[in-house]
Amino acid sequence: MKKILVGMSGGVDSSVAAMLLKDKGYEVSGVTLLLRDGGEREAADAKRVCDHLGIEHIMLDFKDDFRRCVTEPFAAAYLEGKTPNPCILCNKYIKFGVMLDFALEHGFDSIATGHYTEKYTDENANSYIKRTDSPKDQSYFLYMLSGFQISHSIFPLLGMNKQQIRELAEKNGLPTAKKKDSQEICFVPDNDYVSYLKSCGCSWQPGDFVDKEGNVLGRHGGTVGFTIGQRKGLGMGFGKPMYVTGIDTERNRVILGDNDELFVEGLYAEDLSFPNGAEQYEGKTVEAQVKIRYRAPLCGAKITIKDKKATVLFEKPQRAVTPGQSAVFYKDDIVLGGGIITGALNN
């Protein structure tokens, strides 16, 4: 009988994941990761579910790892004018990193999570993440996982939607059946990035709004309050809709322009990650599909890898390519890999 350690956040998805695995006959334990102050409430909800299922509940304090691997890089990226995606780093270094290490060191065969995604293994026993048809598909957030991490992971919610999850939870009396979904980024209260960064001791100075020619249009309160494509919340009016088209932290400028200026031909990406190694792609051009952010549609692209960097040329222009976000590459719904966007490419 396989021993499975289920990451349990105290939400309904991971609760149902644990229940499904137990029903299949696995020896299941639940683990809640304490990643920030105040996380004990989620741990208490997860323990209630484990008690209901009659399985062991474990708590692990990974606050130091979370700060070093997730929240500090998050703050640093914003100060550099980027828009980071911390969930991707959390998956790589925390949930499928130190949590998986703990599981394997303590006799578990695999870990499981409540992610909406699928695992795919090819004829050479290489493991990949696969995109699903679910509107909540989370393959984008898992592109940094290695083949080893994927091979030791289980995703029990494959093929299910949120309504089915909640119905199963209610039918089986799970204490989290009606619990609301968590917010977008767990450690940023009310998704207020600016207030969060201030609480981390970050500081910044007001600067200029400019157009692409460098003409001053007004003043802003600090570049951290903005992201590429943003229209609302600029803090002043310009007589017509204006969008953030660039952020220049060196000169403390936020560049504004028309919506048309947000469409670009491609992008550059670095810090590339491929589940089974990037060497097979070095010096080659691959035709695939790319997502430039989580909620963006897939678009066809030619991806050229050289010197561990990617140049991506879209089949048709894409809107609001944003440094700090991830470009994730797909082939036949398989996640080939991806990288951190460093800039836009315009022919």
Rounded to the nearest 10 degrees, the angle between the axes of helix 162-171 and helix 12-23 is 60
List the 243-248 sheet strands across, edge first: 216-220, 207-210, 253-257, 243-248
Residue 87 forms part of a structural domain = yes
pLDDT score at 20: 98
Residue 223 forms part of a structural domain = yes
Distance of CA 205 to the CA centre of its chain: 29
Q: How many domains are contained in the chain? A: 2
Query: Residues 199-240: pLDDT tens digits?
Result: 999 999 999 999 999 999 999 999 998 999 999 989 888 889
Q: Is the same domain home to 170 and 37?
A: yes
Give CA–CA dist 204/222, Å, rounded.
6
Q: Is the same domain home to 48 and 180?
A: yes
Please answer whether residues 80 and 73 qualify as being in contact, where contact means their C-beta atoms are separated by less than 8 angstroms: no
Q: Is the same domain home to 184 and 208?
A: no
Q: Which of 50, 69, 87, 90 is catalytic?
A: 90
- What is the pTM assigned to this prediction? 0.95
Residue 244 forms part of a structural domain = yes
Q: Is the same domain home to 110 and 211?
A: no
Torsion of CA 192, 235, 293, 33, to 10 degrees: -10
Q: Is the same domain home to 212 and 184?
A: no
Give CA–CA dist 9/2, Å, rounded.
22
Residue 183 forms part of a structural domain = yes
Residue 233 forms part of a structural domain = yes
C-alpha distance across the termini of the chain, in Å: 57
Distance of CA 12 to the CA centre of its chain: 19
DSSP of 53-76: HT-EEEEEE-HHHHIIIIIHHHHH
Q: Is the same domain home to 160 and 234?
A: no
Q: Is the same domain home to 165 and 243?
A: no
- Comparing 191 with 103, the larger pLDDT belongs to 103
Is residue 90 annotated as part of the catalytic site, yes or no? yes
Q: Is the same domain home to 34 and 161?
A: yes
Tokens read off for 5: 């350690």
Q: Is the same domain home to 85 and 213?
A: no
Give CA–CA dist 112/26, Å, rounded.
11
pLDDT score at 135: 87
Q: Which domain holds residue 179?
A: 3-114+156-189
Asked if residue 190 has pLDDT above 90, the reply is no
Tokens read off for 139: 């393959």
Tokens read off for 249: 């932290």
Query: Residues 263-307: pLDDT tens digits?
Result: 999 999 999 999 988 888 999 999 999 999 999 999 999 999 999
Residue 144 forms part of a structural domain = no
Burial of 163 (0-12, 13-18, 19+ CB in 10 A): exposed
Distance of CA 176 to the CA centre of its chain: 24
Is residue 186 annotated as part of the catalytic site, yes or no? yes
CATH of the domain at 107: 3.40.50.620
Query: Residues 26-62: pLDDT tens digits?
Result: 999 999 999 988 778 889 999 999 999 999 999 999 9
Please answer whether residues 270 and 308 qualify as being in contact, where contact means their C-beta atoms are separated by less than 8 angstroms: yes
Please answer whether residues 329 and 335 qualify as being in contact, where contact means their C-beta atoms are separated by less than 8 angstroms: yes
Q: Give the torsion sign (CA, 176, 178, 184, 186).
A: negative
Residue 298 forms part of a structural domain = no
Percent of the chain whose pLDDT exceeds 90:
86
Asked if residue 347 has pLDDT above 70, the reply is no
Q: Is the same domain home to 219 and 176?
A: no
CATH of the domain at 236: 2.30.30.280
Residue 36 forms part of a structural domain = yes
Q: Which of 186, 200, 202, 299 is catalytic?
A: 186
Q: Is the same domain home to 164 and 227?
A: no
Give CA–CA dist 58/272, Å, rounded.
34
Q: Is the same domain home to 107 and 229?
A: no
Burial of 183 (0-12, 13-18, 19+ CB in 10 A): exposed
